[in-house]
Amino acid sequence: MKNTLFCPFGRNSKNNRIRLMTIKIFFLLLLTGTSQSVFSFCGFYVAKADTDLYNSASQVVMVRDEDRTVITMANDFQGDVKDFAMVVPVPTFIEREQINVAEQALIDHLDAYTAPRLVEYFDENPCRVYRRELSASVALADSVQTKSFDVSDEALGVTIEARYTVGEYDILILNADESAGLIQWLGDNDYKLPQGAESVVGSYLKQDMRFFVARVNLEAQQSTGYTHLRPLQIAFESPKFMLPIRLGTLNADGKQELFVYALTRTGRVETANYRTVRMPSNLEIPGFVKGRFEEFYRDMFTRQNKAENEKAVFLEYAWDMAWCDPCAADPLANTQLRNLGVYWLADTGVDQNNRRLQAGQNVFVTRLHLRYDSKTFPDDLKFIETGNRTNFQGRYVMRHAWDGEMRCDAAMDYLAMVRQRNIAAGNQLASLTGWDRSEIAELIGVADLPDREKWWRRIWSPDQ
Amino acid sequence: MDPRNYQIAALSTFISIGVVTLGFQIAWINAVVIVAVALLAQFCLFQQGRSYGPYKSALISALSLVLLLRTDVVALAAVTALIAVASKRFLCIKGCHVFNPSAFALVVVTTLFPAAYLSPGQWGALGLLAFVVAGIGLLVVTRAQRLDVTLAFLGSYALIVFCRGSYLGDPPAIALHQLQSGALILFAFFMITDPKTTPASSIARVAFGVTVAVVSAVLQFYFFISTAVIYALVLLAPLVPVFNFYSRSFCREKYSVLSLRT
């Protein structure tokens, strides 16, 4: 029921039924990746026993308010947990109480809430007016993960500033005089580092950053009773509002996907050192795309990314967290937001109905999506929080023609209108995705799909 | 040709490119309000007789604000335009205003009001190209009178960025990426070159350009301010009389950019 919405959409006079469908694009990308284990946050996974591990797609939630940051790193590691290790550069020393383990469901919910959405409208019978309703569903995939552990220490100019066990993770905060010592220490301790790590590690050390190293503590992990690795959270205070992505490019197999969800008080977040571009949105696409929405969105993303020379960050969602329209999933409750680090919210624990009525929770969510490698994104991502609270969402519309019986004069006009509409939507689709025009023409049931409607057809053969 | 006419044309072109090609969200109401308030403030605060010159300067400040300021609050746009023009009237030493009007107004308003902000990363390759081309055009129009400060600033900033990259052991691609910033080039050609708020002698201008570059780098890399260059210019503007004093030259221009008239 929550997904059945009636949107005041446009100037179309027809009363339409709409249906909303969201697709878990992130998981799709993941599943079509490699059969081996995947993922990293902006750090990199280091394998023990020479297991080849790749980075593919990451999800990061960043809560930012003034100099305070809470970062939540989704963990979709898929492999033997004892092979799991994560190295993340952090700007400050991290105390035990600044680290937490969150629930994956929080990120899944945020992903679903902010995901690009497909909206369906069903034309009414042009000869009569009556209504039917249709319920809708949100397809939610679930990620399945696994876990592991190990630790040791030594000198080599490497300082283990702290050592904690948090949830299923053993965590070290490392500092070092120079990168060579740190690299050797990590190597001695069975952390397999990718080629080229030394210069990147050295650069971060000189910028006074520490290294947050996490592995799975098998005993602790068993006692948690979880079958997957939960997201790690770190809270710190630093003027740096950035995401270190350089390490992540080192052991990656090709380009990586990164989704950044920013939760702020003031407004939309954008990158200060790369262009942030809105995804084309509120566009009509043909009905047959319904079953191929994931493919549509992925191809559109690829094409838009190419148009920006693969150097842009894409805005997929920017919205006041208090509401949504149409909703791909309910807005997150205050409790959920607090668990993600939105510390300025009162944890009222209100129920769903009350929450939906709260206007302006003072939380603004931004969803950014980028596909990067070291060539197109050589530098780390630097963000700024803007004062812009304009809502934006990736929203795609399909209109289904009335397919029942029509007995009236208006039917001919209606059919001509539908045909024009289909051609326009087909053209839109071709230009967004680069899909083959003749294939689109066939699927929408027209002879061909000209780039532009030939104007002379309107003179002599208006029905063609 | 009056360089101010050229600057007005160039800024209008940048705004068009931003809105049409780069998808900048510049509300037309903001643009109208900024231009109107700036011209009105110029009329009310100054005795300009029959000359159009001062209005051109006010229009240049206004167009710079339209190009750079982002806000959903129209009142803030108006306040920014007012501060820009008023700063020329009230923050003045010996007939020379101290601050670059648009830079000063942007720093004040974006610091005080979170709803107003700058968007430095949005120019992309096209914006960068446009700035370089138009910047070279400006040099031609002004017979390269302010080339010294542009080169001193850009050269020393590039040197700092490359040296920092080399110290950190970073690949040159990172330094290059940091230098290929539309905001940086726009600043180097169109903001730091304002004759009224830069030193009067060439040697002092070079020293000023280098100082702005050093302070920008410090703000950028140690204080993590993404719009460091504008802050650096505003912070250092009060030192311009000092530069002038040591180079024994004085500001004589009555209005911004007037000395560039050819």
Together in a domain, A430 and A379: no
Question: pLDDT, tens digit, for every residue of A199-221?
Answer: 888 899 899 898 888 888 888 88
Specify the pLDDT at position A96: 87
Query: Sign of dihedral through CA atoms B52, B57, B62, B64?
Result: positive
A30 plus A160 within the same structural domain: yes
The residue that leads in pLDDT, A189 or B104, is B104
Q: Is residue A405 part of a domain?
A: no
Would you call B224 and A266 a contact, using CB atoms and an 8 Å cutoff? no
Strands A210-216 and B69-71: unpaired
Residue A6 located in a structural domain? no
Residues A219, A274, single domain; the answer is: yes
Bridge partners of B253, per DSSP, are none
Same structural domain for residues A342 and A381? yes
ipTM of the prediction: 0.87
In a domain, A404, yes or no: no
Report the alpha-carbon distance of residue B58 to residue A217 in Å, rounded.
66
Order of all β-strands in the sheet with A283-284: A17-22, A117-122, A395-400, A283-284
Among A463, A393, A363, residue whose Cα is nearest residue A423? A463
- Torsion sign across C-alpha atoms B187, B188, B193, B199: positive
Q: Does pLDDT of B193 surpass 60?
A: yes
Interchain CB contact of A404 with B (< 8 Å): no
3-state secondary structure A134-198: CCCCCCCCCCCCCCCCCCCCCCCCEEEEEEEEECCEEEEEEEECCHHHHHHHHHHCCCCCCCCHH
d(CA B7, CA A259): 40
In a domain, A255, yes or no: yes
Residue A305 pLDDT greater than 50, yes or no: yes
B122 contacts in chain A (CB < 8 Å): 270, 275-276
Contacts of A267 in chain B (CB under 8 A): 114-115
Residue with tokens 């053969």: A461
Cβ of A378 within 8 Å of Cβ of B174? The answer is: yes
Give residue A424's domain range.
Answer: 410-460
Q: Which residue in chain A has the smallest CA separation from B122?
A: A275
Contact between A278 and B124 using a beta-carbon 8 Å cutoff = no
Task: Check whether residue A394 and residue A425 sit in a common domain.
Answer: no
The residue with tokens 């790590």 is A197
Could you tell me how far CA A182 lies from the centroid of its own chain?
33
Q: Which residues contact A206 (CB under 8 A, 6 or more apart)?
A: B167, B168, B169
Q: Which residue of B has its CA nearest to A375?
A: B173
The total number of structural domains in chain A stands at: 2
Contacts of B220 in chain A (CB under 8 A): none
User: What sign results for the dihedral spanned by CA atoms A221, A222, A224, A229?
Assistant: positive
- pLDDT tens figures, A330-362: 888 888 999 999 998 875 555 444 444 444 468
Do the domain assignments include residue A1? no
| B177: its two tokens | 């990426």
Low-confidence winner among A68-82, B39-53, B147-161 (lowest mean pLDDT): B39-53
Question: Within an 8 Å CB–CB cutoff, is residue A275 touching chain B?
Answer: yes
The residue of B174, B218, B221 whose CB has the most chain A CBs within 10 angstroms, and thus the best one to mutate to test that interface, is B174
Based on the number of CB atoms within 10 Å of its own CB, is A417 exposed (0-12), middle (13-18) or buried (19 or more)?
Answer: middle
Q: Which residues of A touch B169 (CB under 8 A)?
A: 179, 199, 202-203, 206
**B171 with A378: Cβ contact below 8 A:** yes
Which are the contacts of B96, defined by CB distance < 8 A and separation ≥ 6?
B196, B197, B240, B241, B251, B253
Q: Are residues A62 and A172 in the same domain?
A: yes
Q: What average pLDDT does the segment A402-416 reach?
A: 84
A463 Cα distance to chain centroid:
44
Q: Are residues A282 and A426 both part of a single domain?
A: no
Q: Are residues A384 and A440 in the same domain?
A: no
Determine contact: A180 vs chain B, CB below 8 A.
Answer: no
Residue A10 counted as domain residue: no
B119 close to A (CB below 8 A): yes
Rounded to the nearest angstrom, the minimum Cα separation between B186 and chain A is 15
Do A120 and A214 share a domain, yes or no? Answer: yes
Closest CA to A336 of A101, A35, A97, A103: A103
pLDDT digits (tens, 9 = 90+) for B5-36: 888 988 998 899 888 888 888 888 999 999 99
Question: Over pLDDT 90: what percentage of chain A?
Answer: 21
Residue A152, CA distances (Å) to A155, A190, A191 in order: 11, 9, 11
pLDDT tops 90 at residue A165: no
Question: Looking at the complex, does the CB of residue B222 fall below 8 Å from at least one CB of chain A?
Answer: no
* A385 in a structural domain: yes
Across the interface, whether the CB atoms of B224 and A241 are under 8 A apart is answered: yes
Query: Is residue A416 located within the same domain as residue A319?
Result: no
Question: In angstroms, what is the C-alpha Rg of chain A?
Answer: 25
Nearest to B23 among A241, A278, A387 (CB): A278
Indicate if A314 and A419 belong to the same structural domain: no
Binary contact (B25, A266; C-beta < 8 A): no
Whether residues A54 and A103 fall in one domain: yes
Q: Is A2 contained in some domain? A: no
Question: pLDDT tens digit string along A291-301?
Answer: 888 888 889 99
